[in-house]
Structure 1
Amino acid sequence: MNSRDQSVESADGTRLVVRRLGVGDPVILVHGSGGGLHSWATVAEHLADDHEVWLPARRGYGPSDVPAGAKSFADETADLLAVIEAARQSSNRPVHLVGASYGATLALHTALADPRDVRSLAIFEPPLFAAGAEITPLLDRYRAAFERDDAAAMAAALNDVTRVPAEIVAAIAAGAADRVPDPVEARRSAIGWLHDLEALAQDGTDIARWSAIAVPTLLLAGADTWEPMPTTMDTLARTIPAARYVVWPGQSHFVTMTAPTLVADALRQFFVEASAARPGG
């Protein structure tokens, strides 16, 4: 399906590149750490048959701007609200907001800050455990490795943030085999990770704050994702009033890549239900 890219300007002048495809009720898909315009591509193609899908590249991830200085969730919430406003103006309809991983944490922040144009919220495995003071030394380790362009040391620091089990890290490495990553894309991802860690280090781990979210909410998780994600998601499901909680057997934190049809079908069904529950936003 044909897509088109456009720029959206955030409140502080940061230029965000957004890819759009499809026609219908607007859906914004927010990518996680290390991602970009490509992250939700296959899911977006499935949804674009009956939705207008907006795929923003978050600040710090090219081709969007990489502002100087440290980043916070307040910065990114302002960015996402600018994208929501653009989608609302384009369609004259409220948006379905969807986030995965770090993008799910950002979606939570945004829905809490200003839900007026958010028809529904769907989030997949936000790393709410990876925040606050305990992230600061990992951020420092990562920044030092980034400055000397040490890919192995950067990856080791990130593994300590995400707590991916060693056997999964080894399996991913074996699957990559001898493929050499594109150096431009690798550096783009590394820069984005650095800014994401800055925001996480300034954030907190208090899940109770999300109890104030009142829009129709869908929580998604993979049954095979490692701890502490399952415990985190169980706690979040008890915290957000009336949230639906779906756990997919045989899936993990990579489900948007490994089973995009499953993800798209679950989202489409939820959008229908949410629209019926909250007509017109």
Structure 2
Amino acid sequence: MNSNEQEVRSADGTRLVVRRAGAGDPVVLLHGSGGGLHSWAAVAGRLAGSYELWMPARRGYGPSDVPPGRKSFKDEVADLLAVIEAAGQPVHLVGGSYGATLALHAAAAEPGRLRSLAVFEPPLFAAGESIEPLLARYQAAFARDDAGEMFAVLNEVTRVPPPIVAAFVAAAGDQRPDPAEARRSAIGWLHDLEALADDSPDPARWSSITVPTLLMQGADTWEPMPTTMDALAAALPAARRVSWPGQSHFATMTAPDLVADALREFLAEVAAQPGPTCRGQYDLS
């Protein structure tokens, strides 16, 4: 384990590896499906001069533990609380994709542990009964190590348009992912799908969230994400909202400056105006 990493134990004993950087008020960054300790690196490098950043590898993703049994968002909220305890005070919570859905769960369940919430494109549409048959297909493909079928299932879950999938395949060419990294990602996806299948797709349930909130999205992300973000914004009318032209669901990697600048401005406003603020929408393009 690197010197900038530490272990945190969740309530059920699950070992979580957390990467830390910077100094200042604590900010926890939650990665999406298929991600890991590296996922927020580009954004974190732009924020470390102002904040103490905590970046856990979520359960199911090495080098954190992969506990047995079916995973739930309740498990992951407990994991997050352990990280917050290690930070020693309420945190600013940031989540991307699946990590954004987890962040919403945490904000609804444990608002007193958070100073603010920022979420980037939570896939709220990818939840509930519709995911169960996709989970079963993925489990079967995982068991026989069928990378092609796993890839196909995940495209159905995320609803990435075929032209974008084709562009990814073409860009990869003859390159093949590192087998160990591919397996780590596949295991993490498997357990994320378990939690998604047991979740609800209803965005109205987040209307109880009261902490200052920032909603972030790419203006070019495909449907149903734009409709989903509209529904989430309707459920959280006091939230700020930013949409970046020319960016999509990969903005945290393709435009880290935009993401870091939006977070920096939002967090500065939260620090200057404690309590519920942030009404309306704004454009940081």
Indicate the TM-score class for this superposition, using the shorter chain for normalisation: over 0.9
Residue 201 of structure 1 corresponds to: 197
Rounded Cα–Cα distance in structure 2 between residues aligned with 1:231 and 1:13? 39
* 1:117 positional shift: 2.1
Residue 98 of structure 2 corresponds to: 102
Amino acid at match of 1:187: R
Rounded Cα–Cα distance in structure 2 between residues aligned with 1:3 and 1:28? 18
- Unaligned stretches of 5+ in structure 1? none
* 1:56 positional shift: 0.3
Rounded Cα–Cα distance in structure 2 between residues aligned with 1:102 and 1:75? 14
Residue 158 of structure 1 corresponds to: 154
Does the aligned pair in 2 maintain the 1:3–1:21 contact within 8 Å? Answer: no
Does 2:212 align with 1:221? no
Greater Cα shift, 123-132 or 2-11: 2-11
* 1:17 positional shift: 0.3
Does 2:265 align with 1:269? yes
Does 2:234 align with 1:238? yes
Q: What is the CA deviation profile of residues 99-125 of structure 1, one whole-angstrom value per residue up to 9, with x for unaligned ones? A: 000000000000110011211100000
* 1:3 positional shift: 6.3
Residue 25 of structure 1 corresponds to: 25
Rounded Cα–Cα distance in structure 2 between residues aligned with 1:188 and 1:177? 22
Residue 278 of structure 2 corresponds to: none
Does 2:140 align with 1:144? yes
Does 2:72 align with 1:64? no
Does the aligned pair in 2 maintain the 1:214–1:241 contact within 8 Å? Answer: no
Structure 1 consecutive aligned stretches of length 4 or more whose deviation exceeds 3 Å: none
Rounded Cα–Cα distance in structure 1 between residues aligned with 2:224 and 2:248? 13
TM-score (structure 1 length as normaliser): 0.96
Rounded Cα–Cα distance in structure 1 between residues aligned with 2:79 and 2:139? 24
Residue 40 of structure 2 corresponds to: 40
TM-score (structure 2 length as normaliser): 0.94
Q: What is the CA deviation profile of residues 234-276 of structure 1, one whole-angstrom value per residue up to 9, with x for unaligned ones? A: 1101111310011110000000000111101110110001122
Rounded Cα–Cα distance in structure 2 between residues aligned with 1:41 and 1:227? 27
Does 2:78 align with 1:75? no
Amino acid at match of 1:197: L
Rounded Cα–Cα distance in structure 2 between residues aligned with 1:170 and 1:207? 31
Amino acid at match of 1:84: I
3-state SS, counterpart of residue 4 of structure 2: strand
Does the aligned pair in 2 maintain the 1:132–1:201 contact within 8 Å? Answer: yes
Rounded Cα–Cα distance in structure 2 between residues aligned with 1:197 and 1:86? 28
* 1:52 positional shift: 0.5
Rounded Cα–Cα distance in structure 1 between residues aligned with 2:139 and 2:272? 47
Equivalent residues, number: 274
Rounded Cα–Cα distance in structure 2 between residues aligned with 1:244 and 1:146? 40
- Unaligned stretches of 5+ in structure 2? 276-285
Rounded Cα–Cα distance in structure 1 between residues aligned with 2:98 and 2:109? 17
Q: What is the CA deviation profile of residues 16-44 of structure 1, one whole-angstrom value per residue up to 9, with x for unaligned ones? A: 00000100111110000000000001101
* 1:208 positional shift: 1.0
3-state SS, counterpart of residue 61 of structure 2: coil
Does 2:89 align with 1:122? no
Does 2:45 align with 1:54? no
Rounded Cα–Cα distance in structure 2 between residues aligned with 1:55 and 1:247? 24
Q: What is the CA deviation profile of residues 170-194 of structure 1, one whole-angstrom value per residue up to 9, with x for unaligned ones? A: 0111111121100000000000000
Residue 278 of structure 1 corresponds to: 274
Amino acid at match of 1:9: R
Rounded Cα–Cα distance in structure 2 between residues aligned with 1:202 and 1:94? 28
> Structure 1 vs Structure 2: percent identity of aligned residues?
73
Does the aligned pair in 2 maintain the 1:3–1:20 contact within 8 Å? Answer: no
